Amino acid sequence: MEKESPEKAKKRKIDDDGDGDKAREESESFNGFKVKAVINENARQKYLFLHCTKNDEDAVVLLEKTPFDSSMTDQILSDNTKIRQTLQNDIYHTYSALLPENLNGVKATVICPASEKHIKKYTEQESFVIQETAELYTKVTLPYLEKHAFSTKWVYNILEKKKEADRIVFENADPDTGFILLPDMKWDGKDLNSLYLQAIVHKHGLKSVRDLNKSHLPLLNNILEEGADVINQEYGIPKSKLRIYIHYQPSYYHLHVHFNHINLESPGFDADRAHLLVDVIENIEMNDSYYQDKTLVYRVREQDELYKLYQDEGYFVDFPINTSISSNSSLTAAS
Amino acid sequence: MEKESPEKAKKRKIDDDGDGDKAREESESFNGFKVKAVINENARQKYLFLHCTKNDEDAVVLLEKTPFDSSMTDQILSDNTKIRQTLQNDIYHTYSALLPENLNGVKATVICPASEKHIKKYTEQESFVIQETAELYTKVTLPYLEKHAFSTKWVYNILEKKKEADRIVFENADPDTGFILLPDMKWDGKDLNSLYLQAIVHKHGLKSVRDLNKSHLPLLNNILEEGADVINQEYGIPKSKLRIYIHYQPSYYHLHVHFNHINLESPGFDADRAHLLVDVIENIEMNDSYYQDKTLVYRVREQDELYKLYQDEGYFVDFPINTSISSNSSLTAAS
């Protein structure tokens, strides 16, 4: 399915842990850690990633505030929570509050010693919008895909039931119009509000939405209809609660479709990456070569090879991409 | 611009505050508050909204963890932060950490006494996906728009420069192909990573993307090109850093276009609401009546009148919308 996320990979590694007890005796503070740089932060999600050193070794420190525990509301509003009113007007009051320590933890993850690669992985990367015309696809993107001929052996292992066969929720076995439906790695398989499945097509050679035309409508309609029906039967989630979409660029180049519960907050549902399956079907019905002709907009990050290839192509030349944001941060709206 | 958000309205009210000092002497705990219900919570954004009572009056209590202050990293990693190792494997260590109180506050907002409307406003609403065909638009959505004839007087006030004239960043004054560009209310006008402007068209009577055809291409191209150019000149943000899109459904029914910095995390950029302006232009070039013919997918909430109208129309009849999620929460992937 999706490439394993850093969190997931880390969790797996940690779950394999054998010598936890010994470890727990270690340091009880961040004594010795020196901050070299803030490499990422997010005010909405309340996290902060730091590049540190400890005893001349590099370390990555990931800090994230914990969510509220909604089963503890009585304690949260108890006398142990201290509040200081900051403003008041009519019925509106704001406070700065201090919760009891046990209700207000922070989750910290330390990678030490950290390699260059670890630091890069957690460092915020600059993003860029690419408007990929049909010409640019042929000239830049397609040669990149062909040159790398990304291995989809692990996908074939799933389709041939050599791997993950016990996870299959549904299969239409037709080699041309069939698919396998199974839970995405990111889903715990339990919380229906974050339901996440993927349909992987049996047919080989469909790299992405760019390859789709009228001949694939039976396949796409099967996925839309059978996928939604099965999810309704298996999980009781009706179609009016589902987001069904294809990524462009996808994370792997064998056609697959994402099924999410509408309540799942997923950055993968951004309008510059997610193409709703109903739109894909209708656009192809309207115009057989829609996805060969259409300019497709997507976001790349500075470490992505596609970004570098577009840069080499001169795609960003017209734009002053060296304009530093911070050097302009005093600018305000013209008034 | 966008309808004023609850936070904004509240902030304005609070800023008008005259008797803050008196207020500050009041309670120093949530003593007397009783929790009736958790009305909303979000683990990713770390907030928790409660419906409470105090002295037989209803109250809404909004709690949100504060972001890390990245200028305080030395203090965050000081000896005053206590950490307890929870797991360790190889180079990966996880800790449960307790920060010094002053670095780990919670922002609390209390509305007391709270009306039914306040409680509703902060209560999580159920969402539904609507696939609006051309027929459903004519039968359900359009009559709703015409019946209400939503007042856009405040928009005309901006276009006629009776209001907010000092906020205008750029104007193309042509009555058919011109527009006014100004900062969105949600933007502070300073942080370029959250840059948010709106282009409002001079032409009256364009309710939404549904009304657009080839005759509007000069208008749309002006917005795309002049808007991006002006933002580059004024703020130093190149086109490759901008998201330029139209909402469907929009928050008000006079055509307008959103300009965001790519780094802004905005739920308004979901694929079931945001239509990229470059896509709109290209789709119309391909097919004059694309936005009259096309099924458009969007999300409604249970309090939205459109949801109720589609429900009355029988739109959700085929779906078992009464299936309670919690009653199915023990279901896991078939194995």
Amino acid of residue A189: G
Euclidean distance between CA atoms B115 and B59, whole angstroms = 8
Euclidean distance between CA atoms B22 and B40, whole angstroms = 31
Cα–Cα nearest to A334, from B201, B261, B159, B234 = B234
Collect all residues with Cβ–Cβ distance below 8 Å to A86 and sequence separation of at least 6: A94, A95, A96
Euclidean distance between CA atoms A156 and A307, whole angstroms = 28
Query: pLDDT for B240-273, tens place per residue?
Result: 999 999 999 998 999 999 999 999 988 799 999 9
Q: What is the pTM of this model?
A: 0.79
| B124 part of contact set with chain A, CB < 8 Å | no
For residue A236, give how far its alpha carbon lies from the nearest alpha carbon of chain B (Å).
Answer: 6
Domain positions in chain B are 24-122, 127-313
Q: Around Cβ A169, how many Cβ atoms within 10 Å?
A: 21
Task: Provide the b/e sequence for B181-213 (b: ≥16 CB within 10 Å).
Answer: bbbbebbebeebebbbbbbbbbbeebbbbbebe
Point out the residue among A16, A46, A320 whose CB comes nearest to the CB of B238: A320
Under CATH, which architecture does the B24-122 domain have? 2-Layer Sandwich (3.30)
In the predicted structure, residue A13 carries a pLDDT above the cut 60: no
Mean pLDDT taken over chain A: 86
Euclidean distance between CA atoms B29 and B31, whole angstroms = 5
Q: According to the model, what pLDDT value does residue B265 have?
A: 84
Euclidean distance between CA atoms A267 and B263, whole angstroms = 12
In the predicted structure, residue A25 carries a pLDDT above the cut 80: no
**Given the residues B51, B202, B256, B275, the one annotated as active site:** B256
Contacts of A96 in chain B (CB under 8 A): 105-108
Q: According to the model, what pLDDT value does residue B105 have?
A: 87
The share of chain B scoring above pLDDT 70, in percent, equals 87
Burial of B147 (0-12, 13-18, 19+ CB in 10 A): exposed
Across the interface, whether the CB atoms of B30 and A81 are under 8 A apart is answered yes
Query: pLDDT for A197-250, tens place per residue?
Result: 999 999 999 999 999 999 999 999 999 999 999 999 999 999 999 999 999 999
In the predicted structure, residue B307 carries a pLDDT above the cut 60: yes
In the predicted structure, residue A157 carries a pLDDT above the cut 60: yes
Over residues B297-305, the mean pLDDT reads 93
Euclidean distance between CA atoms A97 and B65, whole angstroms = 9
Euclidean distance between CA atoms B249 and B136, whole angstroms = 14
Mean pLDDT taken over chain B: 86
Cα–Cα nearest to B296, from B157, B138, B170 = B138
pLDDT band (50, 70, 90) for residue B19: very low
Query: pLDDT for A103-154, tens place per residue?
Result: 888 999 999 999 998 998 899 989 999 999 999 999 999 999 998 877 788 8
Site from A44, A89, A136 to mutate, B interface, most B CB atoms within 10 angstroms? A89
Sign of the CA dihedral running B280, B286, B288, B289? negative
Query: pLDDT for A266-275, tens place per residue?
Result: 879 999 999 9
Asked if residue A160 lies in contact with residue A327, where contact means CB atoms within 8 angstroms, the answer is no
Sign of the CA dihedral running B308, B310, B311, B312? positive
Tell me which residues of chain B, numbers 95 to 114, contact chain A at a CB-CB cutoff of 8 Å.
Answer: 95-99, 101, 104-114
ipTM of the complex: 0.79
B261 tagged catalytic: no
Q: Tell me the backbone φ, ψ of residue A64, rounded to 5 degrees.
A: -145, 130
Q: According to the model, what pLDDT value does residue B318 have?
A: 57
Token pair of A334, please?
């013209």
In the predicted structure, residue B67 carries a pLDDT above the cut 60: yes
Contacts of A293 in chain B (CB under 8 A): 286
Query: pLDDT for A60-109, tens place per residue?
Result: 999 999 999 999 999 999 988 999 998 888 898 999 999 887 888 899 99
Does domain B127-313 fall under CATH 1.10.1740.10? My reply is: no
In the predicted structure, residue B310 carries a pLDDT above the cut 80: yes
Q: According to the model, what pLDDT value does residue A318 have?
A: 57
Asked if residue A74 lies in contact with residue B35, where contact means CB atoms within 8 angstroms, the answer is yes
In the predicted structure, residue A22 carries a pLDDT above the cut 70: no
Asked if residue A95 lies in contact with residue A83, where contact means CB atoms within 8 angstroms, the answer is yes
Residue position matching structure tokens 């006014």: B180
Across the interface, whether the CB atoms of B23 and A66 are under 8 A apart is answered no
Across the interface, whether the CB atoms of B96 and A105 are under 8 A apart is answered yes
Over residues B296-309, the mean pLDDT reads 94
In the predicted structure, residue B169 carries a pLDDT above the cut 90: yes
Across the interface, whether the CB atoms of B92 and A13 are under 8 A apart is answered yes
Q: According to the model, what pLDDT value does residue A329 have?
A: 31
Query: pLDDT for B178-206, tens place per residue?
Result: 999 999 988 888 889 889 999 999 999 99
Euclidean distance between CA atoms B124 and A293, whole angstroms = 41
For residue B86, give how far its alpha carbon lies from the nearest alpha carbon of chain A (Å).
Answer: 7
